[in-house]
């Protein structure tokens, strides 16, 4: 489980393509306490560490994950928002994030708004019912508050700190991000379905 508070921006160092794909990710945080088998959120996707060094870790990704997320578009030097898993007793600064990506959303607008930037995304129509104004959403591993919703389109503000500390400072129109809707919204919708 994660919080959506990014602790590092890493980059793809190598890609090995055979069956499942293996990525080596460079990072700046201390990996001495990270064990093989630990979970790390990479661009919002919960992935398992299968090998590590002093400043890198390796992950293996199935075809299911490649097809549902932006991971199939990763190239050498692709920058990624990274978060180590939440440990008991740590501050929960964002919201509960599982790292189970629902789909991708396209950036359809980016404009300055005060010192921030307003981003508008378009998600698949099937996710629209889970996205609510002032609700939480996780985009590329970042916990954000939804400002407005219009069908499958929704807007968020990216403050200067978030732009500098994540990959959002470099996001542009037409790019896609990984989307995880709020876990509570997902379960409430399921409970309210007619049997």
Backbone angles phi, psi at 44, to 5 degrees: 90, 0
Q: Is pLDDT above 70 for 179?
A: yes
Q: Is pLDDT above 80 for 180?
A: yes
Q: Is pLDDT above 90 for 16?
A: yes
Distances (CA, A) of 156 to 73, 86, 94, 121, 193: 24, 24, 15, 8, 28
Predicted confidence (pLDDT) per residue in 21-42, tens digit: 999 999 999 999 899 999 999 9
DSSP label at residue 189? H
Distances (CA, A) of 13 to 2, 41, 77, 106, 141: 24, 17, 6, 25, 19
Q: Name the pLDDT band for 90 (thresholds 50, 70, 90).
A: low
List, in sequence order, every residue forming a beta bridge with 162; answer none if it has no partner.
Answer: none
**H/E element holding 121?**
strand 116-122
Average pLDDT in the 73-90 region?
A: 88
Predicted confidence (pLDDT) per residue in 134-143, tens digit: 999 999 999 9
Helix residue ranges, H only, 8-138: 63-68
Give the integer Cα–Cα distance in Å for 150 and 132. Answer: 10
Backbone angles phi, psi at 13, to 5 degrees: -95, -35
Q: Name the pLDDT band for 159 (thresholds 50, 70, 90).
A: very high
**What 3-state class would DSSP assign to 143?**
strand
- Give this prediction's pTM: 0.92
DSSP label at residue 6? -
- Cβ within 8 Å of residue 134, ≥6 positions away: 145, 146, 147
Give the integer Cα–Cα distance in Å for 139 and 56. Answer: 23
Q: Name the pLDDT band for 195 (thresholds 50, 70, 90).
A: low
Domains of the chain: 8-84 (2.40.30.20), 103-192 (2.40.30.20)
pLDDT at 173: 97
């Amino acid at each position: 489980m994660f919080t959506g508070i990014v602790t590092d921006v890493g980059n793809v160092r190598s890609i090995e393509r055979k069956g499942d794909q293996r990525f080596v990710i460079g990072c700046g945080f201390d990996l001495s306490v990270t064990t093989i088998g630990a979970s790390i959120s990479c661009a919002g996707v919960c992935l398992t560490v299968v090998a590590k060094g002093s400043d890198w870790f390796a992950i293996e990704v199935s075809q299911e994950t490649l097809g549902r997320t932006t991971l199939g578009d990763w190239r050498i030097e692709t920058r990624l928002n990274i978060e180590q898993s939440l440990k008991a007793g740590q501050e929960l600064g964002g919201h509960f994030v599982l790292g189970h990506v629902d789909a991708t959303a396209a950036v359809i607008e980016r404009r300055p708004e005060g010192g921030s930037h307003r981003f508008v995304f378009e998600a698949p129509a099937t996710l629209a019912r889970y996205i609510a104004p002032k609700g939480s959403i996780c985009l590329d591993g970042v916990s954000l508050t939804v400002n407005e919703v219009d069908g499958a389109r929704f807007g968020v503000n990216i403050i200067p700190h978030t732009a500098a500390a994540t990959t959002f400072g470099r996001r542009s129109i037409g790019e896609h991000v990984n989307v995880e809707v709020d876990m509570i919204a997902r379960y409430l919708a399921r409970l309210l379905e007619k049997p």
